[in-house]
């Protein structure tokens, strides 16, 4: 794969639309202005850590790594894009960023929609809309990363390990204190339709962990197939 630079982005592999949904021209423009995207993600990371300040305060220090899910994902994509921009691309950072930005970028709108009455009871509509749109943008930007990585198996394996542990800490078996998932505006035991709020949130997190891991592996397989046939760079 040709790694390219911000002034000369790498060539686009002819992936199917379900793996590369962004228009090629939009990808190229985004990569040319990569430092703007890096800066936006770093600002989002800072805001996210501020947003989680109350949850940090009530969480044991040894569990802090599992608290800031969304700002962690935006930090990862900022680092992945910055590493590529300075000529030192990192496949592991890219795989972690890809999975994290799709997972959290879609999980947050999912719970915001599922539990809208509860969120809107204490969240200003403008903040609610900002959280919804900004997280969708996280998922969208993740699809830039196929231009700078082939998602090698080792990198995807590390992403699988991290997000599996993160799921366990968030919803199932925390090593200390209580589970670390982002707070939702109902008690975990409150019935919601036919199940609990915690189960609804956890179900979305599980699906949105498996989904991007599959997409990363599918991208890897499609690129390997095409390169073996002599297609693409």
Written as tens digits, the pLDDT of the chain (233 aa) is 556 777 677 888 889 999 999 999 999 999 999 999 999 999 999 999 999 999 899 899 999 999 999 999 999 999 999 999 999 999 999 999 999 999 999 999 999 998 888 888 889 999 999 999 999 999 999 999 999 999 999 999 999 999 999 999 988 887 777 778 887 877 655 656 667 888 889 999 999 999 999 999 999 999 998 777 665 44
What pLDDT, on the 0 to 100 scale, is given for residue 232? 45
pLDDT of residue 196: 82
Tell me, what's the pLDDT at 177?
A: 73
Closest by CA to 51, choosing from 74, 73, 71, is 71
Report the C-alpha gap between 171 and 94 in whole angstroms: 25
Question: 3-state DSSP call for residue 192?
Answer: strand
- The C-alpha atoms of residue 210 and residue 164 are separated, in whole angstroms, by 9
Return phi, psi of residue 52, to 5°: -90, 10
Residues near 103 by Cβ (< 8 Å), separated by ≥ 6? 73, 163, 205, 208, 209, 211, 212
How far apart CA 213 and CA 215 sit, in angstroms, is 5
> Using CA atoms, how far apart are residues 228 and 216, in angstroms rounded to an integer?
18
What are the C-alpha distances in Å from 135 to residues 73, 147, 149?
10, 21, 23
C-alpha dihedral sign at 159, 212, 84, 45: negative
Strands 195-196 and 191-192: antiparallel
Sign of CA dihedral 15, 17, 18, 22: positive
Give the span between the Cα atoms of 85 and 81, in whole angstroms.
6
What's the confidence (pLDDT) of residue 2?
57
For residue 230, the model assigns a pLDDT of 62
Can you give the pLDDT at residue 146? 96
pLDDT for the residue numbered 191: 55
- Predicted structure pTM score: 0.91
């Amino acid at each position: 794969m040709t790694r390219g630079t911000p002034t000369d982005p790498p060539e686009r592999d002819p992936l199917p639309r379900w793996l590369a949904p962004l228009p090629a021209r939009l990808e190229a423009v985004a990569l040319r202005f990569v430092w703007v995207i890096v800066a936006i993600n770093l600002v989002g990371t800072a805001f996210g850590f501020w947003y989680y300040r109350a949850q940090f305060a009530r969480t044991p220090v040894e569990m802090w790594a599992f608290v800031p899910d969304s700002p962690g994902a935006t930090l990862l994509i900022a680092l992945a894009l910055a590493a590529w921009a300075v000529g030192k691309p990192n496949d592991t950072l890219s795989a972690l960023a890809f999975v994290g930005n799709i997972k959290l970028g879609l999980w947050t709108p999912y719970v915001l929609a599922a539990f809208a009455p509860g969120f809107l009871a204490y969240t200003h509509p403008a903040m609610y809309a900002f959280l919804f749109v900004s997280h969708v943008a996280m998922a969208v930007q993740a699809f830039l990363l196929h231009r700078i990585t082939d998602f090698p198996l080792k990198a995807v394996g590390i992403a699988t390990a991290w997000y599996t542990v993160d799921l366990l800490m968030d919803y199932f078996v925390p090593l200390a204190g209580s589970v670390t998932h982002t707070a939702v505006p109902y008690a975990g035991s409150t019935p919601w339709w036919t199940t609990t709020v915690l189960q609804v949130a956890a179900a979305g997190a599980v699906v949105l962990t498996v989904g991007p891991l599959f997409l990363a592996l599918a991208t890897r397989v499609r690129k390997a197939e095409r390169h073996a046939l002599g297609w693409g760079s």
